[in-house]
Structure 1
Amino acid sequence: MPNTHTPFHAPLPRTPDGHSVHARKWPKKEEPDKVKESHLRTDVRHFVDLSYHLTGFERADLFGTGSAEEYLSALVHRVGADNALRLYKRVVDPKLGKDPQESARFPDHEKEADLYAMAAAVTTMWYLGSWTALDPQHYALVVKGHKGTPPLPPNETFVVSPNAYLNGLVWQLTGGHALGGKPTGWATWAERPPKVHRNRAERRKEWAPGTGGTDGGGSK
């Protein structure tokens, strides 16, 4: 858990009429090629689509953390809605097909350095619950690509929220528990650790109907 001297609580995204996007009745979701900044800001489903490809977790898992709105707000606040949209368009590209190799969706670290840095920051945020400061050279490219207002805030590392730390994907991936936040209970150290599903394919196989597991409800 990174140390930070500047506590940050990401404001939840709001609809134009001031209501939280979490409480709104969802309209029909825009197709990826038609998504604009306003859609990305107010419909967290687009951000979850982006994160689905970056993290390797199902959409249901991501929504289940309770942190999707906070992470969306943090991304837009740190890099701007214009840069966030560029990242979305690059990763959620219909031309890449329905389920290609996920590596093809991750921006190239040399040719697309700013997009690569933002994608890495979003992925890390989901796993650790923290926004990680970008490499200074990459951050300079992000600032250069930001054409909107207001100016971008300082390039800092911070914990998004207590809930984000407690529900980071790292705990699901490793079968661990957030220190000081989610104790396992008395004498649980004597029990065999649960099986850890290290990739999406393993989780889908375990959760498939008729296998004895539970249906994860994720998108296929």
Structure 2
Amino acid sequence: MEAAIETLLSDRPSFHAWPDGRPANWSVAPAVLRFLVEQLEPGMSTLETGAGQTTVAFVIAGTHHVAVTPDAAQAERIEKYLDGLGIERDLKFVLESSDTALPAGRGIPDRLDFVFIDGAHRFPFPILDWYYTQARVPVGGMLAIDDFIMPSVRILHDFLLSEDDWELVQAFQVTAFFRRVGARENLWDWADQKINKPHLDMVKKKAERERRLQKQSFPFITWLRSREKD
């Protein structure tokens, strides 16, 4: 496995393309690919939004992998590269945008041991990718987010950092790995989420101030009512 990853890093295949069709390489950092493979075990059920060198890494690790991408040409380039390596694989491309494929659940396993979010980066795609996969990730499963320094992705990163159900395992320059450590039921909607704690504290303080003002004004109200009777 290690030798195959080093071959991938040495080859640096360009699976992406610019809008004009020119080849592009937007792969994650080599350290991220190496760390990713270390977290994987053969037979795991894995999924990524987007595709690229990470797709090859999942295949090298021997997982049952699903890549959700609307780019059929990209999928063909990846398949061709894997054919050249001669690696047997359990790889399925869902050639559809993740915002429609994930809610529909077409070709998506019920259980996902690892999810890598690296598809469309514009808001709200990263959040949608998480929302429609997180319920399939069991306690102990992992989630990775690429390009979290981008504002539209950072929202998800910061939310997971604040939640008790997710634990940061490793953060690279632009890629973060989280592990699910709980599956707590949400009972109080937004008030149950730690990202909203500052707002909840503000609401509580406001309510307390209003209660104090009502108590302070009660004698004055009583006096006014007594005058009305007169």
State TM-score, norm by structure 2. Answer: 0.27
The structure whose residues are more often strand, as a share, is 2
The structure with the larger Rg is 2
